[in-house]
Chain A
């Protein structure tokens, strides 16, 4: 599924003469990751200014997971994720404006300001939402894949969750039914090593999450996220299995969040040294280094980065100046159609 599989030009030894198609593709993935990073940083700033309320769970550090996996999808495919949903929404194609306005609780947000940080939905890009109850969305995602199989529409569903969800019933029931009914879905466990403040060693008897697939008789994969293109390729294999054979896969993606669990979490459960070590392996940074090394050109990168800055600034401005939702929305968004006959 990766570009290299379909690339007709023979691979060259020198990185400088790498096929431009693949470099452009990597640049696009870098652009998406940078957009997520910068949106999240601005969201953190707006949160500190009191413009965003409630919970705010940032995706900083994990960008390559959403961007790489969604790069393996077609536009009509579905994604379902947790409350840490900003990255997935942007990677699926939702606009930074709609996201930032939702965070600001404005009527122009994707959910008209009624959902907030944890509930990003975008029907146009088949972003089927962020869900706030750990594991509760996993059976729902299996249901979306059930509908695809029922209608034979050839679509694939990606379902993201953290390793903290692996201990709750929703995970097991969702995976169990998807396995039983052979549903076209990929379960992606974003293992960022901390279930809120609890490290893996204190939350799971078997740290290898992908082992759970064995009990359900489905395929599994497990890898550390370093290169966004690797994510695309590895998830792509599972997507292909889902699309062509209607078989589910459980993929454990080892990643790391650079911020606390949410804005109220100073993350005292890990050392500064650990964090700094991980930041050196930042897939976003690595993608940029790769682009430079392989000759994408510093000036083109600068232009790309400036465009992102402008896009993020525009999103913040848009969110700032957008109107609040009208109370008249409350009834019409609770029931579809008249409440009583």
Chain B
């Protein structure tokens, strides 16, 4: 964000506690000092209000970054994203666009209860007119953020509170990571796991355990949910003949269902087993630590799903 704000005077950051408090999760630490109150704007608790302010400012040529303290709170700004940001270009016949970034941590944190644990990407990824990205690694987080800020459309960046502490190397020459391109995290032969954000790390853990049992897993990290890199998904499934989708959020509909649809439609003849999904259990997220862990996708559930599709294939073949 700092690099893009240095690069482009039109870019500014707005949200609750982004300035003087240095960010609820310290994401914007030092930015107020560097850019001043004109470009790092603290807001009152009014998501619908400041999301709308961002849309209006974007419409006349600024490039706002609107931070939601968490994506859960975007529910009260849903109207601004659905009805204004996503629709401006079309309902003006292409006269206006809306180059805005909405960002913040998404999905479960630790024991924050049902109202603060939503995987909101499933709601937003259905909306034509917006783009949705959900990086799992530090270099993608930086590169996709840059791509989002430079994009002339509304882009929703789904971060993860539990990944904020993740550390990693970023190449000096890293610039923009293009949206709509998945990342092949791990190559394998027996089953493809499609995941994104924190669940990619769960998939990596599951894959390591499965390797000990001689099951070779390929991991496709989507990075971008809309646009979706169906070519990468299909290419991997054509190779492994099996697919398990892992994400947070409920199993009804959502990104996993979308991936499953594309796989059955585009790689039907290569499939040895039905596409399975490992998602959050179909209940509001409980506070109790053990029950919360039970509801969230864990490596053991991923391992079980992979074994199911692999064994089915082997049993038939």
- A-side residues, CB < 8 A to B, are 78, 80, 109-115, 119, 121-123, 128-129, 131-133, 136-148, 150-151, 169-170, 173-174, 176-177, 180, 329, 332-337, 339-341
Contact = CB atoms under 8 A, between A and B. Distances in A.
A335 B226 CA distance: 12
A248 B274 CA distance: 60
Contacts of A114: 90-91, 93
B128 A334 contact: yes
Given A141-B56, A146-B56, A333 B94 contact: yes
Contact of A335 (B12, B52, B54, B153): B153
Contacts of B94: 112, 329, 332-333, 336
Contacts of B285: none
Interface of B: 12, 38, 43-44, 46, 48-62, 76, 79-80, 83-84, 88-97, 99, 128-129, 131, 147, 151-153, 178-181, 224, 227, 229
A163 to B, nearest CB: 20
A121 B95 contact: yes
Given A114-B93, A115-B92, A339-B180, A136 B83 contact: yes
Nearest to A98: B93
Contacts of B95: 110-111, 121-123
A335 B60 contact: no
Contacts of A123: 92, 95-96
Contacts of B58: 143
Contacts of A333: 89-90, 93-94
Given A111-B93, A139-B51, A335-B129, A146 B43 contact: no
Nearest to B177: A341
19 contacts: A111-B92, A114-B91, A115-B92, A121-B95, A128-B59, A139-B53, A140-B59, A140-B84, A142-B52, A142-B53, A143-B58, A144-B60, A146-B53, A146-B56, A150-B62, A173-B50, A329-B93, A333-B93, A337-B152
B305 to A, nearest CB: 28
A151 B229 CA distance: 38
A121 B93 contact: yes
A32 to B, nearest CB: 22
A111 B151 CA distance: 22
B53 A334 contact: no
A190 to B, nearest CB: 20
A246 B63 CA distance: 22
Of A119, A147, A173, A337, chain B has the most CB atoms within 10 Å of the CB of: A173
B153 A337 contact: yes
A336 B48 contact: no
A339 B227 contact: yes
A182 to B, nearest CB: 13
Contacts of B80: 136, 139-140
Nearest to A142: B53
Nearest to A144: B56
B53 A335 contact: no
B297 to A, nearest CB: 27
B204 to A, nearest CB: 25
Nearest to B46: A173
Nearest to B54: A143
List the 10 closest A-B pairs by CB distance, nearest first: A143-B56, A139-B52, A173-B49, A340-B180, A341-B178, A112-B93, A111-B93, A121-B92, A340-B227, A143-B53
A121 B46 contact: no
B46 A176 contact: yes
Of B12, B53, B61, chain A has the most CB atoms within 10 Å of the CB of: B53
Contact of B52 (A115, A174, A341): A174
B226 to A, nearest CB: 9
A110 B93 CA distance: 7
A334 B129 contact: yes
Contacts of A111: 91-93, 95
B86 to A, nearest CB: 9
Of A114, A140, A141, A174, chain B has the most CB atoms within 10 Å of the CB of: A140
A333 B152 CA distance: 12
Contacts of A148: 60
A80 B92 CA distance: 13
Given A121-B95, A341-B180, A133 B83 contact: yes
B220 to A, nearest CB: 16
A139 B152 contact: no
A109 B48 contact: no
